[in-house]
A and B are shown apart, each in its own frame.
Chain A
Amino acid sequence: MSQLSMNNTAARTILVCCGTGCQANGSMAVYQAFRRELADSPGTQVHTYTKSTGCNGWCEKGPLVKILPDEITYCRVKSEDVPEIIASLRYGTVMERLLYRDPVTKQVYRSHRDTNFYKKQRKVALRNIGEIDPANIQDYLDRDGYNALRKALTMPPAQVIEEVLQSGLRGRGGGGFPTGLKWKACAAVERTPRYVICNGDEGDPGAFMDRSIMEGDPHSVLEGMIICAHAIGASAGFIYVRDEYDLAVHHLSRAVEDARKHGFLGKNILGSDLSFDIEIVRGGGAFVCGEETALIASIEGNPGEPRDKYIFPTEKGLWGQPTVINNVETWANVPVIINRGAAEFASIGTTGSKGTKVFSLVGKVVNTGLVEVPMGTTLREIIYDIGEGIQKGRKFKAVQTGGPSGGCIPEDLLDLEVDFDSLTAAGSMMGSGGLIVMDDRTCMVEVARYYVNFLAGESCGKCVPCREGISLLLETLTRICEGKGRLEDLDLLESVSATLQQAALCALGRTAPNPVLSTLKYFRDEYLAHIVDHRCPAGICKELTEFYIDPELCTGCGRCRRKCPANAVAGEKKQAHVIDPSRCIKCGECINNCNFQAVKVK
């Protein structure tokens, strides 16, 4: 244990991350252990206060425990470690074994802030997450909470809209529509009541920034919505949350109650003319409800089917009334813009996309978790500097952005400066900000099939191009993955994709072919390998895969033999092993577990 330079009798705050990721790793037990241990030993020299916080985004290293003001971060803490941590606080020492150690440089980091994962990040939307107890409104108030609302209430509504417009904030849910324009259009419609909706139906597989914000900093979302209510003259607000997000529903409900008690919601908010309240609506589990008009249908008590959007919800939205819908991350940015001014916000980012964007960096990358960076950061910086490259030293193949509406971006575009427009130009899209890293063990045809299969179940099934087009795309891609593909299939995929893009009713349908078209564009050779050469280069499509062991590289360690569930690997110790293709079930355990890259795909 190394000595702390701090005065060891200072008051400490112990923050235990209790986001979904850390909870799955057992953080509640750690939190309870702290409470118990500290209650059992009164009269301790250290004044401690334990809080459970929202998601720090470093889920892979969880459960995370932070000690303030010392700025110590402990990783993968178990409840057994708790007595030792408390003792260390008394004696003013740091427990080195729980600090983060860089797997390559072996360097030990005392605070998570110094690690590569955090250093390049810039927290705006995630400013409070992991720093406050989301169930305690006082924590939020202590960090400038609801000051933006106070300020906004002194401004004329038009000025608030102007400020948001000037900031250049664009919708974080995927479309990237300028938020200020939306508000302005809604405020301009004479009819009342007007409504404000928070879209918390985060459904892109591989994205979880909205969950993290709703769980970890619910008041920032409420504050954004109340400011908007003042700006557009709305009387009621709705937060539509995925029902699967239990903790988010719980924390948001608590936040709404507390905000009412403090006079931030209800009649004559903070003594002003503004009367506004928020209701929480639990979604029913439908990806398509992330689409605004489907979400509105769902709140109204209908199946979540979109309608043609020739008239925008800002004019005819919920129950036919003028309505502003913004995504969770968008709302969380609003108080910052009002507090610090549009100019400061607009100083971050690129010409067309201002501010920061939260990405969920997942897949075959070393550091996984939530990453917030200025718009314009390159994919390479995100994946290699923050994410520290590909797991197990394998080869990068593609990064998928934008979920089922997005596309796969190849290695030669890694220096792309990420913003709304650059991703669209590359045939993908921002979406809600999922970044799924894929390596040479990912089959791009199978990835396209995966997304299309996802949409086959998630399309609302209303319009013909989407329902029937996706069905045909899925049938064709499945055929290719099973080794029965024909060269004409590629033309068919392109032709049907074009019809979807041009004629489908809603954005979900119009963007549904993106995973197909982007893989056809950048990874056509893999399609051809499946169709012409009858092989799957990644070794994923079982009908087209045969594994073999390169005797030059095999050390005879026996790891693959032990991992093989089908007893298909044979070989003596320290001798090159051999795979029996007739027994092999193509599960890939051998190739995934080989430390010498000796298992190959034929």
Chain B
Amino acid sequence: MRIKIDGIEIDVTSGETILEAARRAGIHIPTLCYHEAFGGQGICRMCIVEVKEGNRTRLVASCTYPVNGEIEVKTSTPEIERIRRNIVMLLYRRAPNSEFMKRLYEEYGRPADITPADPEESCIMCRLCVRACEKVGSHAISAVLRGTEKRISTPYDEPSPDCIGCCACAQVCPTGTIKVSTMPGKYEIWNKAFEMDRCESCGRPFVPPVILEHVRSKLGPEFTEEHLCPDCRKKKTGKIMADSHMSK
């Protein structure tokens, strides 16, 4: 079926979200909690757009609204911009200690003069970290408590036995809130320290055993590679290539 976004006609498959269709057509809709890998969450509400269906017009979150009929979409109206400015203001008030939010707050023209709630806070609760952790299969972190107290943590704020130290959460975090502290031969995330195994060849620490175990459990028993750091592996592969070339 065909829909119109900002006057541009786009072919969509039934059930595709407005946001997906717009991105495909190169139309920008701002988002804070969206990632292609996980789909829409409907949390940040930055992606609100106006949908006209027949005579009815309403505001919807484009990341969760599935297209099921002929609609006309506007991605920006004065009303929508007001909402986005307020959302940016509210999130800056929550997370003033994040460069990301500071920049956005300036970009949106410093909407409303407000006092930040907690000057140390930098998390905007987009939950991309939780999605990443779920997708990796660890389920070590989740959103806990509720209402204005809601936050992300491991159970009891203790090092979680389920955490494999993959750091996917830290990589996906837009505000850099999730810290990975590195020390010689180990690193720490979510209060859990990971000692790294050493490379069989050069002896440099390079990967925590839990990650290797996880990878092995995913790839099956046929995966019997040696313990080599990326450098040594590259050297080894190069050597094999060179040897096979030489022998020809």
Contact = CB atoms under 8 A, between A and B. Distances in A.
A–B direct touch, CB within 8 Å, in complex? yes
B147 interface: yes
B48 A503 contact: yes
A303 interface: yes
Interface in A497-517: 498-499, 502-505
A310 B44 CA distance: 17
A226 interface: no
B66 A311 contact: yes
A459 B148 CA distance: 7
Size class of A's contact patch? 35 or more
Given A307-B64, A310-B66, A499-B83, A505 B45 contact: yes
B87 A503 contact: yes
B146 interface: yes
B42 A505 contact: yes
Contacts of A503: 45, 48, 59, 83, 87
Given A464-B43, A495-B112, A499-B82, A303 B65 contact: no
Contacts of B149: 457, 461
A270 interface: no
A502 B146 contact: no
Nearest to B15: A311
A499 B145 contact: no
Interface in B120-174: 124-125, 143, 145-150
Contact of B86 (A470, A471, A475, A495): A495
A503 B148 CA distance: 17
Contact of A469 (B66, B90, B124, B150): B90
Nearest to B65: A310
Nearest to B64: A308
A467 B150 contact: yes
B143 A461 contact: yes
| Interface SS of B by simple majority | mixed
Nearest to A474: B148
| Interface SS of A by simple majority | helix
Given A310-B64, A503-B48, A461 B145 contact: yes
B22 interface: no
A359 to B, nearest CB: 28
Given A499-B83, A505-B42, A505-B61, A464 B146 contact: no
A465 B146 contact: no
Contacts of A303: 143, 146
B94 A461 contact: no
A504 B82 CA distance: 14
A462 interface: yes
Nearest to A304: B146
A463 B146 contact: no
A459 B45 contact: no
A453 to B, nearest CB: 10
A492 B112 contact: yes
Contacts of A505: 42-43, 45, 61
Given A464-B43, A465-B86, A502-B48, 15 more contacts: A303-B146, A307-B42, A310-B65, A457-B147, A461-B125, A462-B150, A463-B42, A463-B45, A464-B124, A467-B148, A467-B150, A469-B86, A471-B148, A495-B112, A498-B82
15 contacts: A286-B146, A307-B42, A308-B61, A310-B64, A310-B65, A460-B147, A462-B43, A464-B45, A464-B91, A464-B124, A465-B83, A467-B125, A495-B112, A498-B82, A504-B45
Interface of B: 32, 42-45, 48, 59-61, 64-66, 79, 82-83, 86-87, 90-91, 93-94, 112, 114, 117, 124-125, 143, 145-150
Interface of A: 286, 288, 303, 307-308, 310-311, 455-465, 467-472, 474-475, 492, 495-496, 498-499, 502-505
